[in-house]
Amino acid sequence: MGALVHRGKVRDLYEAGEDRVLLVASDRMSAFDVVMAEEVPDKGRLLTAMTVFWFEHLADVVPSHLVTTDVPDLPSELLGRSMLCRRAEMLPVECIVRSHLAGSAWQEYRERGTVHGMAVPVGLLEADALPEPLFTPSTKASPGAHDENLSFDQAVALVGGEVAERARHLSLAVYRRGAAHALDRGFVVADTKLELGWVDGEMVVADEVLTPDSSRFWPADGWTPGSTPASPTPRAAPSNAPSPRSASGACPTSGWARPSAARSTPQMRRRPGPGWRSCALASSPTP
Ligand SMILES: Nc1ncnc2c1ncn2[C@@H]1O[C@H](COP(=O)(O)OP(=O)(O)O)[C@@H](O)[C@H]1O
Ligand SMILES: [Mg+2]
């Protein structure tokens, strides 16, 4: 196996030849851009399986970086959580699409009546559907920093007009296709975050796509605007999960405590509850 070239909050990237990388999804959990002390067993396998499913399902919408998951001579602990990928030059922008008012979008709407600075109807409730999905990009923060919202014009300034337009077009197309498929199976995709990059002059989707780490999935039935539903994953809520909004500084959507340091606080050193996904992305503008 090649040398470790990058350790992300969740994924490790290994050298795999000149133009390839091996992307290994760990069981690490990250919330508010902080890696928590406790892992979720097999989470990386779930993220990998979902991403591979979606890459195939979305193949006619956007190509992906995936070469194969069938990697020879892989240590057993890496099986099911590894993707051999084409090395991409990643866009310095997180491509976020929101169709419902959750997380930081709900917070902004409550405070200013806008979503990502854009006008939306008045009188919406938390978790309400927006009239149409919105592209709400953000910066890709360096380690230890938080992602910042980017207006479309700021994204244009960063990557150029044509690239920003293409990223918006592909992100909305991925969202629409993924959300339609999820709805068929009883789930709303409230928002999602994509990472796009360049491979051989072609824009591809990389990293992960439409996973519980990158997206809010809500059960389509039994969900009513007025509060943000807990994500249905992982299925079993642990017995020691804090009750929503029990902790000071709790995550506005799930009730999970907001860690303040580079590692989790003792309060966070519990097994994550059903709101793990909502909280993980409610912290920063992503999504
Ligand atoms: N095909 C690829 N080529 C190069 N870099 C990639 C590729 N796919 C993903 N990456 C990068 O690898 C890192 C994966 O680590 P991850 O833990 O998911 O990161 P983050 O904490 O930034 O979300 C990210 O920085 C992502 O941009
Ligand atoms: Mg990532």
Question: What's the predicted TM-score (pTM) here?
Answer: 0.85
**Residue 147 half-sphere exposure toward CB, CA atoms < 13 A:** 27
Q: Which of 24, 45, 48, 102 is nearest to 277 (CA)?
A: 102
13 lines ligand 1 (CB under 6 A): yes
- Give the Å distance between the CA of 168 and the centre of ligand 2: 18
The CB of 7 under 6 Å from ligand 1? The reply is no
Q: Where are the domains of the chain?
A: 4-86
What's the average model confidence in pLDDT over 166-181?
98
Residue 209 C-alpha to ligand 1 middle, in angstroms? 12
87 lines ligand 1 (CB under 6 A): yes
Q: Which ligand is nearest to the CA of 147?
A: 1
Q: Does residue 6 have its Cβ closer than 6 Å to ligand 1?
A: yes
Say which residues have a Cβ less than 8 Å from residue 185's Cβ, sequence separation at least 6.
none
| Cβ of residue 10 lying under 6 Å from some atom of ligand 1 | yes
Question: Which of the pair, 224 or 43, is modelled with greater confidence?
Answer: 43
CATH for the stretch 4-86: 3.30.200.20
pLDDT tens readout for residues 41-93: 999 999 999 999 999 999 999 999 999 999 999 999 999 999 999 999 999 99
Please report how many Cα atoms fall inside a 13 Å half-sphere around the Cα of residue 228, on the Cβ side.
30
pLDDT at 229 over 50: yes
- Ligand 1 binding pocket includes 35 (Cβ within 6 Å): no
CA of 108 to the centre of ligand 1 (A): 28
